[in-house]
Amino acid sequence: MKNQSGNTHWVDLHTHSTASDGSLTPPRLIASAKNAGLVGLALTDHDTGNGLLEAAAAAAEAGLRFVPGIEISAEFPHPGTMHLLGYFIDPISPALKRMSQILLEGRNSRNPRIIARLNELGCHITMDQVQAIARRGVTDDRPVVIGRPHIAQALAESGCVASVKQAFDVYLGTTGQAYFDKERLTRKQAIDCIHDAGGLAVLAHPVQLRLGNPAELENVVSNLVEIGLDGIEAWHSDHRPQDSEMILSLARKYKLVPTGGSDFHGNSKPDIALGLGRQNIRVPEAVLDELETAWRNRRNRQRAAAAGQPEAVHDGK
């Protein structure tokens, strides 16, 4: 959509808040989106929907289109990582609560192992320090999801490494000395969980799968489509223009909704601005329009199926 002077409106469909490893609280994130001139935003915290209601209320007040979202991990061979974005999930659905609980248990068993290994390696940080970092800016006792960026920050602040980047390169990245995988959902479980929570399932930043070539990516994508994938993230801070082009052509071929966002985290990724990813990635509002249409279509098909009109579910994706 364009405004009256013919300029494109922009959105950001991949962002994190203090509910996970972003540094802005949900209301501050919305205020920043408004300041940045965006017309729409999706909040996609890791493994939790805890920031969604607050962000939705702030967005309504600011006159910003808001998409309640989540980002979860699924099993994928080392050293790649597979993240799935859930869009238009219902923030109060029991399915979201269940999914979140499973994912948080996986984190709770992994984070202490990482810290114990770091201590063995001579980096003396504690879980309390990491927790305090994760709670910066959070003024009440709501739960926050603790992730590797918080541990990276603790390492940098303790002087064990020179920067967050070095913390990932040496210790926390998938090939780092203190890396432990967390228990993950299978791909089918992850997609089903997102659907059960009322959302659309989108493959995030496909380059992070670290596949050798486009044919391998196509293979993975076509398998995901068979188990219900709805969309694929074409524009992302880790994507070069040629990556986005290649992913867009896959989206067209498999009738997937192409999505995009900066993966804004605030302080822990200072080179990424809200609505303006690395490589100056920006996402036009029409992408949000298409995503919303796909979600409404899916929801209508589900409702028709639930009301006993099975023919309505066979009309394509």
In the bound state with ligand AMP, the residue whose beta carbon lies nearer, of 34 and 148, is 148
Q: Taking CB under 6 A as the rule, does residue 147 contact ligand AMP?
A: yes
Q: Taking CB under 6 A as the rule, does residue 22 contact ligand AMP?
A: no
Position closest to Fe ion via CB: 83
In the bound state with ligand AMP, the residue whose beta carbon lies nearer, of 88 and 264, is 264
Which H or E element spans position 258? strand 257-260
Q: Taking CB under 5 A as the rule, does residue 83 contact Fe ion?
A: yes
Which H or E element spans position 155? helix 148-157
Q: Smallest distance, Å, CB 184 to Zn ion? A: 15
Instruction: Report what 184 binds from Fe ion, ligand AMP, Zn ion, none; CB cut-off 5-8 Å by kind.
Output: none
Q: Which of 14, 34, 65, 148 binds ligand AMP (CB under 6 A)?
A: 148
Q: Smallest distance, Å, CB 16 to ligand AMP? A: 7
Q: Taking CB under 6 A as the rule, does residue 69 contact ligand AMP?
A: no
Q: Taking CB under 5 A as the rule, does residue 21 contact Zn ion?
A: yes
Q: Taking CB under 5 A as the rule, does residue 243 contact Zn ion?
A: no
In the bound state with ligand AMP, the residue whose beta carbon lies nearer, of 176 and 228, is 176
Sequence-distant (6+) residues with CB within 8 A of 120 are: none
Instruction: Report what 173 binds from Fe ion, ligand AMP, Zn ion, none; CB cut-off 5-8 Å by kind.
Output: ligand AMP
Q: Write the interaction track for ligand AMP spanning residues 204-243; mark x where CB under 6 A is met and - where it is not.
A: ----------------------------------------
Q: Which of 10, 66, 88, 168 binds ligand AMP (CB under 6 A)?
A: 168
Q: Taking CB under 6 A as the rule, does residue 266 contact ligand AMP?
A: no
Of 70, 48, 16, the closest CA to residue 264 belongs to 16
CA distance 109 to 119: 16
* Interface of this chain with Fe ion, residues 149 to 208, rule: CB under 5 A: 204
In the bound state with Zn ion, the residue whose beta carbon lies nearer, of 16 and 195, is 16
Where do we find the tokens 């006993």? 308
> If 0-12 CB within 10 Å is exposed, 13-18 middle and 19+ buried, where does residue 39 land?
buried
Q: Is 200 helix (H, G, I), strand (E, B) or coil?
A: strand
Residue 166 tokens read as: 């070095």
Contact (CB, 8 A) for 80 and 101 = no
Q: How many residues contact ligand AMP, by CB under 6 A? A: 8
Contact (CB, 8 A) for 198 and 204 = no
Instruction: Enumerate the β-bridge partners of residue 260.
Output: 235
Residue 168 tokens read as: 């990932």
In the bound state with Fe ion, the residue whose beta carbon lies nearer, of 236 and 298, is 236
Cα of first residue to Cα of last residue in the chain, in angstroms, is 25
Rg (CA), the chain: 19
Position closest to ligand AMP via CB: 147
Instruction: Enumerate the β-bridge partners of residue 202.
Output: 85, 231
Where do we find the tokens 């269940």? 98
Q: What are phi and psi of 258, to 5 degrees?
A: -80, 135
Q: Smallest distance, Å, CB 16 to Zn ion? A: 5
Residues binding ligand AMP (CB under 6 A):
21, 46, 147-149, 165, 168, 173
